[in-house]
Structure 1
């Protein structure tokens, strides 16, 4: 058996080794004979992953005919640190993502295949034969096939944005059809990660963060102008997260991705630089809910600033056209939601425009820093407070606020209803 090579940061994870991966090789590599080399390396820097630690596994295999084959995987494990572990376990992220990759994404792909359409919702998913006694998600590493992320601080252009909306509409449509055909998903997908039983811990995490947010907003012109409308939301942020996350079965609902920002989207381009394929990754926050949660999350976090507001209506219409097309293809048995209904739902769930603008967008726009971690989002030590201040005082973030807050006010999204 080949010796496992690790970087210093991954030596503690002794279960990521060639022996434990042998069953994966035997089941998925035709003609596998033995492992010649096995390497583990932590990937991504500060600010690229928050709810997990990402590692790349590379192996060189010898086949029965004497030839060799290189194979690569991405493995996600739970982040270190007491606060980070508590948040991830409270949300049940790893079991949920295992359910999505191991069951539903493949089922959704097969549903499209049955009507003559090829759709890929994520990388190939694997399970280790021996339980390592740790939470993990093991996936094909698709970067050798040419897939990569864009620079999150720059954002996506119109073509890349529409390609994401297209695959998002495909995911939403097939998950809505599946619900009508087979009924409820597992309970972990039918309830929000923000629940009444987590109110106390949520308030404990959010209240200090909101104080820093208000302090930073008080130091620039746009923040000062809109604080009177935003302050009521900040004062009861945990309550709004819980209330606005409750499933309403009267709505048009789908399986949402739940964490749709640039780092969870990969693109493959040809030699001329033209985009050829788009794929989504990281389904830890998926659940059955209104599709507008994904729309707010993605459209306010990920397109470049020059199109984020100016093309918002166009993007919503483009998504709706693709949603309708796929619902019809899959013979959705209920009345298909109209564009008017979708826009009404955007207003109904407009709190999420505030949640995304004052939450995930700060992390998207922050320059790489080793202080970026799940713990530092919520801890109260000096390092954490410095990191939290960096999030809200970032000049790039303030530039986005100068555009987003006036638009959100004009749309009525800042009205407390």
Structure 2
């Protein structure tokens, strides 16, 4: 495909994504939430549902018995309800499954448009991930958990915990070894989307259009999100003002956060040749690791594709680095992590006979130019990771309870110091 033809197709896709987003979000923006198919509530999985899932896996087997229990984790942090289901089959097999349904309190559901985000994730598993996984027959992309069943109200995945995977400790940030695994896997994931984008066919174009439209930061949702952003900004500015290390940047941070919504929308605007299909919400809570007998991480899986979008790979990179690592790791190992990402992406593209669209120097410039995105998103994500969220807390409670000296404040100050050293703190 010629450069002109490729650019024309991408511009067309971008326009279609905006149209799809406007139509879908306006149709599902009333904040309605659901607990899934009939019979699937907070503590119940029906035999009919388990049989339906098993028939998708092996139509010649049947259910002998099953157990279901609520998944772990803080329910105040998540927009889905998870149940751990263990199924014994007549053929003697045992299936370890996760049943996931959309769930959130009315205020959170309306603000984040939870049903639509869940629909995006089920679309990814049903129509996108299997394409990306099968691009390399001899070396499949393994960063996704296996999906057994997906519908707009129910997603059934393999239970990674049964295979020894777990979410790493996030209070102190991920170390170099964890980050290298993540960045290597991310490079391969982005390479798969680049290769799929290069496929000049209607199916690929339509699939990317559906999977990649912007789900959250649209003009129609500005009225819902900007008041929350303003409350978070006030809290952040108070923290910055109280820190002797960064108090001089108070007005700059205040100006940056005052235009957070517009800045994020601008960052999300895809530009070629860098644009890829993004995870969109890549941070430590959405990543599981497997460990060897020495306790070292040896494999990684990405979870929760509800906010996938199409844009610069640097957005996934900066979102991950600034929400899930420490300043020390970023300073000491940041460039090595970028090299690991680019090396794996280039290797994966060579395997598919797809030309690498940008150099390591290009990637470094892109990550540097979008570093402020790390602050804008980590300012929200870190509150969720580091705060104790009481039952019934509103989104406004989550973003306004931090005080100078708490763990969130320390991470925030470190990010501001780092961005200042990089020369990207501009109002």
Q: How many residues align?
A: 384
1:203 to partner: Cα distance: 1.4
Give the aligned partner of residue 425 of structure 2. 414
Q: CA RMSD in A?
A: 2.6
CA distance in 2, matches of 1:234, 1:91: 28
1:327 is displaced (CA, Å) by 1.9
Which has the larger displacement, 282-291 or 15-24?
Answer: 15-24
How far apart, in 2, do the equivalents of 1:11 and 1:283 lie?
Answer: 22
Does the 8 Å CA contact 1:155/1:303 hold for their aligned counterparts? yes
Deviations 1:381-402 (A, max 9, x none): xxx2xx4333454622222234
For 1:264 and 1:357, the matched residues in 2 are separated by 14
Work out the CA distance in 2 between the residues paired with 1:85 and 1:262: 22
Pairwise CA distance, 1:361: 2.4
Counterpart in 2 of 1:265? Answer: 287
Report the counterpart of residue 32 of structure 2 in structure 1: none
Is 1:100 equivalent to 2:124 in the alignment?
yes
- Residue 3 of structure 1 is matched in structure 2 by none
In 2, distance between residues paired with 1:208 and 1:296? Answer: 23
Structure 2 CA distance for aligned equivalents of residues 350 and 17 of structure 1? 47
- Aligned counterpart, 1:228: 251
- Shift in alpha-carbon separation, 1:299–1:276, aligned structure 2, 3 A: same
Change (3 A) 1:42 1:146: closer
TM-score w.r.t. the length of structure 2 is 0.82
Change (3 A) 1:37 1:74: closer
Distance 1:415 1:251 in 2: 26
| Residue 361 in structure 1 maps to residue 390 in structure 2 | no
Q: 2:369 aligned with 1:348, yes or no?
A: yes
* Alignment match of 2:66 (pick from 16, 37, 40): 37
Q: In 2 relative to 1, CA 415–39 (structure 1 residues): closer, same or farther, beyond 3 Å?
A: same
TM-score of the aligned structures, taking structure 1 as reference length: 0.84
**Aligned equivalent of 1:24, options 53, 56, 64:** 53
Q: Indicate the SS of the match to 2:301.
A: strand
Partner of 2:105: 81
Could you tell me which residue of structure 1 aligns to residue 185 of structure 2?
Answer: 167
The 3 A distance-change label for structure 1 pair 50 and 329 is same
Which stretches in structure 2 are left out of the alignment for 5+ residues? 1-38
Q: For 1:34 and 1:230, how far apart are their aligned partners in 2?
A: 57
Q: Structure 1 residues 90 and 151, CA, compared in 2 at 3 Å: closer, same or farther?
A: closer
Which 5+ residue runs of structure 1 have no aligned equivalent?
Answer: 1-9, 379-383
Structure 1 position 415, deviation (Å): 1.6
Q: Give the distance between the partners of 2:54 and 2:216, measured in 1 at CA.
A: 35
Q: CA deviation at 1:159?
A: 1.3
SS in 1 for 2:401: helix
Question: Which of 157, 173, 180 is equivalent to 1:139?
Answer: 157
- Does residue 338 in structure 1 map to residue 356 in structure 2? no
Q: Does 1:322 align with 2:344?
A: yes
In the alignment, does 2:83 pair up with 1:55? yes
